[in-house]
Amino acid sequence: MELLLPPNWPRPKGYSNGVLTAGRIVFVAGQVGWNESGLFETEDFAAQVRQALVNVVAVLAEGGAKPTHIARMTWYITDKVEYHLRRAEVGEIYREVIGNHYPAMSMVVVQGLIEDQAKVEIEVTAVIPE
């Protein structure tokens, strides 16, 4: 996997501008912060981020992929202000669950998610090298 960071551009923090890769592709549907029984254990934003990332890792494992295989990640959040207030904590959680791997990433603020209790939903595309 090759990170695409054009020269003379400011270096992104916590993500990459692009990724070049080849191999088997794993698509992970949007994961919310509920447990393996489909129940939300908390309304806390950061705790839901942790659980959503844990869920992403579980689905990746089912496909034989690891967090380091993630090429693209899209986050949907319901509260931009809360994200900014908890950004350092979210970054720490990200590194604990995913590691120091920063794929191409997008974050979108949405009015709501299908699951009313969800504050975050994360979808991923991973590529297992050939």
List the one residue out of 83, 81, 15 whose CA is nearest residue 49: 83
Cα 90 from Cα 111, distance rounded (Å): 20
Write out pLDDT tens, residues 82-128: 999 999 999 999 999 999 999 999 999 999 999 999 999 999 999 99
Residue 34 forms part of a structural domain: yes
Domain count, the chain: 1
Domain that holds residue 95: 22-129
Does 8 reside within a domain?
no
Task: Give me the CATH number covering residue 56.
Answer: 3.30.1330.40
pLDDT of residue 47: 98
At 116, the amino acid letter reads: D
Question: In the prediction, which pLDDT does 2 show?
Answer: 87
**Nearest one of 63, 39, 48 to 97, comparing CA atoms:** 48
Inside any domain, residue 15: no
Domain presence at residue 119: yes
Residue 69 resides in a domain: yes
| Residue 69: pLDDT band with limits 50, 70, 90 | very high
In a domain, 11, yes or no: no
Higher-confidence position of 121 and 20 = 121
- What is the pLDDT, as a whole number, of residue 84? 97
Mean pLDDT of 17-21: 88
Q: pLDDT tens across 44-66, in order?
A: 999 999 999 999 999 999 999 99
Per-residue pLDDT at 11 exceeds 90? no
Give the 3-state DSSP-derived string for the chain, with helices as H, strands as E and coil as C: CEEECCCCCCCCCCCECEEECCEEEEEEEEEECCCCCCCCCCCCHHHHHHHHHHHHHHHHHHCCCCHHHEEEEEEEECCHHHHHHCHHHHHHHHHHHCCCCCCEEEEEECCCCCCCCCCEEEEEEEEEEC
Residue 85 domain flag:
yes
- The C-alpha atoms of residue 87 and residue 94 are separated, in whole angstroms, by 10
Within a domain: residue 37? yes
Contacts of 68 (CB under 8 A, 6+ apart): 1, 99, 101
